[in-house]
């Protein structure tokens, strides 16, 4: 019997985006808007480690480096996240969301 195996496609890593988690992040932020959220709350909601949740928030904030240029289709065009460090705890909220018509002044 001949067994042929195919490599599993990567879902994350350089050049691959976890689109499901990004969309769940947007959904959670929209549910909580106008209230900002902590990264740990988001991590629990999307069922990912807090470091991954922070990376997704970083991508959605529009702050990216050269490696993220290939993922530009979902980065900082129609959805932007802001960060608030003034309250002692870092909070994240929606700065711009074209889909829901949210625009910060």
Cα distances (Å, whole numbers) of residue 17 to 1, 3, 98, 101, 102? 37, 31, 21, 25, 25
Are β-strands 102-103 and 91-97 bridged in parallel, bridged antiparallel, or unpaired?
antiparallel
pTM of this prediction exceeds 0.85: no
Locate the domains of the chain by residue range.
19-103
Q: Closest Cα partner for 57 from 10, 24, 103?
A: 24
CA angle, corner 64, sides to 62 and 66, nearest 5? 140
Cβ atoms of residues 93 and 29 within 8 Å? yes
Return the bridge partners of 94, or none: 81
Would you state the pLDDT for residue 50? 93
DSSP 79: E
Class of domain 19-103: mainly alpha
Confidence (pLDDT) at 66: 47
Identify the band that residue 6 occupies on the pLDDT scale cut at 50, 70 and 90: low
**Residue 34 or 74, more confident:** 34
């Amino acid at each position: 019997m001949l067994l042929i195996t195919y490599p599993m496609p990567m879902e994350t890593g350089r050049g691959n985006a976890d689109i499901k988690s990004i969309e769940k992040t947007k959904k959670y932020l929209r549910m909580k808007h106008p209230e900002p959220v902590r990264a740990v709350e988001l991590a629990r909601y999307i069922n990912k480690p807090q470091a991954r949740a922070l990376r997704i928030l970083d991508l959605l904030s529009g702050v990216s480096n050269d490696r993220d240029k290939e993922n530009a289709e979902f980065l900082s065009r129609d959805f932007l996240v802001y960060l608030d460090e003034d309250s002692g705890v870092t909070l994240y909220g929606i700065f711009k969301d074209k889909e829901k018509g949210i625009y910060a002044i």
